[in-house]
Chains A and B, each alone.
Chain A
Amino acid sequence: MRRRRVHPRSCLVAGILLACGSPPPPAAAGALGELRFSEGFAYEPIIQASGAAYLRIENRGALPDTLLEASSPAARGAMFHGGAMAHLMVLPIPAGGELRLEPGGTHIMFEEFNAMPQAGDSLAVTLRFARAGSVTLELPIRKYGTP
């Protein structure tokens, strides 16, 4: 496995998720107001019609927030899904708590990519929150089956 040099601080930049091309697997982190993002990544889709992205959102504030919407210029649509593919309209993030989007659980599902995202590149994903506003994160793209 090839390793690139990483400066951990470069991973946490307010408002922007940077891909830390890091010890595998690459993941993104960032912040928006009281929200902290980490472990963000997307999978290189197998088919043009659907793909998934994940991240962890920590709410350090005293008030709850809600993830209302996700979108990407690379895909025609995005929705939230629970573990058994149940469609979820919005995702709450309790005050002092966290929302974990992870494989096999709740995730962002993209529909109809305009161009197929490739492993090694990143996927720009905009998240819109009820309280904190919007943030665009660059999620590194991994291949399925990479440990």
Chain B
Amino acid sequence: MRTVLRGFAALLTVSILSGAACKPAAPRTFNPEGLAGPKIDPPIPKPDFILTDTDGKPFNFRKETEGKVALLFFGYTHCPDICPVHLANIAAVLKKLSPEVNNAVRMVFVTTDPRRDSPEVIRAYLDKFDARFIGLHGDSLALRGAMRQLPVGTPIIEPGANDSTYTIGHSAMVLAFTRDNLAHVVYPFGIRQQDWARDLPLLTEQ
């Protein structure tokens, strides 16, 4: 019982620290005016996780994206439909936006397929879109630890023709965390380049 209570207290502390629970009157107010991405209320707190980047170094998501607009997407390199469309759209739009906006945005791709997506595989894949995109990898325990902090479900393995051709059901959303460490808007599949082009500069101004 004591352990449970201590666990609960720790959870509560984490919630308060992360602003998850009770900070209705946050000093910085987010202005959703003009944004194409659907607003999410209450906003999603930035998750706290450490995974491995494509250089093999630990990547602390909260620390590394502090002060930036962090676009977070869970996908996998064998995904032919939703993942490359999102990544290609974001890459195309960033190329057209100012260096200031580019500097203020971090695109973070987390593989939901750690078995096939080694750091090298992820790097080669992301380089096809934008060499600045950050790719993260972790064992399934670490991955689930990151995903359960977010409304992105857990990956569903769908068997393929043989053992190596399985596919993975996953969330189609890109989460956009602003500098207040909250995601007030999400980007579901179907979001267009013109929507990103309008929203990214607005998000960096928040």
Contact = CB atoms under 8 A, between A and B. Distances in A.
Indicate whether A and B interact: yes
A147 B170 CA distance: 24
A51 interface: yes
A115 interface: no
A147 B192 contact: yes
Interface in A107-122: 107, 109-111
Contacts of A8: none
A45 B189 CA distance: 19
Contact of A143 (B88, B169, B189): B88
B78 A104 contact: no
Contacts of A79: 160-161
A50 B87 CA distance: 16
B89 interface: yes
Given A43-B80, A50-B79, A84 B92 contact: no
A145 B169 contact: no
**What band does the interface of chain A fall in when counting residues whose beta carbon is under 8 Å from B?**
20 to 34
B161 A111 contact: yes
A110 B80 CA distance: 9
Contact of A46 (B84, B159, B160, B192): B84
Interface in B148-166: 156, 158-161, 165
Contact of B84 (A43, A77, A147): A43
Interface string B85-106: 1011101100000000000000
A133 interface: no
Nearest to A107: B81
Interface of B: 77-82, 84-85, 87-89, 91-92, 125, 128-129, 156, 158-161, 165, 167-170, 172, 189-190, 192-193
